[in-house]
Amino acid sequence: MTIRTTVFSLIAMCFMATPVLASEGSQSVYMEELTWQEIKGKLRSGTQSVIVPSGGIEQGGPQLVTGKQNTIIHYTAGQIARSVNALVAPVIAYVPEGRIEPPEGHMQFPGTISVTEQTYASILQDTAASLKQQGFRYIFFIGEHGGSQRVQQQVADKLTSMWLSEGVRVYNVSHYFSRAGQEEWNESAGLKIPSPQAHAGHIETSEMMALDPSGVRDNLRAAYMERDYKATGAMGDSTKASAKYGRRYIGLKQEAAIKQIRHAISVNE
């Protein structure tokens, strides 16, 4: 073997031994769609924030599939992340939906899966601890389900108190759920739909029509009322729901979350 051949062989072996680094960058913000090296690269390039979204598996009346909340939060979390330079952790699919035995609330209907508040709090805490260990400084809980909000706030307050000296803060992005202005917009648009946020009603159905029409049984949409809940699982009017309205409702939630997240970061920079 000549000296030249030996040199080329050694060079080739060096290339073969070198680990493949992050590809020329996946543009996804979803951690589950990235390799660990791509995530490390984003951290090194200045991404300090991460969103921990939670949805839920619950009955949605006759017309909505049980995974509707996971579908919605997966989409909105990604849109929010792109606006605030954040990544998105995998959606926490199981949240408190009510007592399991004897069943209450949505647990009275097949398909709903519930966890205790203690279980949910532990999942949030361990998820946040994992992300902190990796170098994220701002951790944002965003929940699609009303039953998740109080626990998220409690865990966020607890962890921020524990980690403040390390420069890590955890927030519950409450405005996404409670201060998005959806009902106000509904009224200003003159739709005259009573309680548009009622379960399996106008807003929920519209959002799913915008994101995944296959998750809506269109022929089963109706003007359900609270007295219909035990028989149908719905207590809202979805007859006027539409993808057009859904896009607006989704946009309002995203805008409220983005504003709250930007403010949280700005006061700590």
Give the CATH number, domain containing residue 128.
3.40.50.10310
Can you name the residues that pair with 140 across neighbouring β-strands? Answer: 51, 171
C-alpha span between 93 and 35 (Å, rounded): 22
C-alpha span between 18 and 30 (Å, rounded): 27
Q: Is residue 85 part of a domain?
A: yes
The set of residues, in sequence order, having a beta carbon less than 8 Å from that of 50 and lying 6+ positions away, is 31, 86, 87, 88, 89, 131, 136, 138, 139, 140
Q: Is residue 152 part of a domain?
A: yes
Mean pLDDT by runs of 10 across the 269 residues of the chain is 46 40 70 97 97 98 98 98 98 97 96 98 98 98 96 98 97 96 92 92 98 98 94 96 97 98 93
Q: Is residue 11 part of a domain?
A: no
Q: Is residue 192 part of a domain?
A: no
CB 165 within 8 A of CB 201: no
SS3 assignment, position 238: coil
Q: Which pLDDT score is estimated for 2?
A: 53
Q: What are phi and psi of 189, to 5 degrees?
A: -80, -5
Q: Is residue 222 part of a domain?
A: no
Q: Which pLDDT score is estimated for 23?
A: 52
Q: Is residue 112 part of a domain?
A: yes
Give 184's Cβ-side CA count (13 Å radius). 6
Q: Which pLDDT score is estimated for 222?
A: 97
**Amino acid (1-letter code) at residue 69:** Q
Q: Is residue 47 part of a domain?
A: yes
Q: What is the pTM of this model?
A: 0.90
Q: Is residue 203 part of a domain?
A: no
Q: Which pLDDT score is estimated for 26?
A: 79
User: Using alpha carbons only, what angle is made at residue 174 by residues 173 and 177, rounded to the nearest 5 degrees?
Assistant: 115
Q: Which pLDDT score is estimated for 163?
A: 98
CB 243 within 8 A of CB 213: yes
Which helix (H) or strand (E) segment is 207 a member of? helix 202-211
DSSP state of 91: P
How many distinct structural domains can be found in the chain?
1
C-alpha span between 263 and 61 (Å, rounded): 37
**Which domain range does residue 66 map to?**
24-179+253-266
Q: Which pLDDT score is estimated for 212?
A: 98
CB 173 within 8 A of CB 204: no
Distances (CA, A) of 248 to 141, 180, 252: 22, 11, 6
What is the token pair recorded at 77?
């979390």
C-alpha span between 168 and 163 (Å, rounded): 5
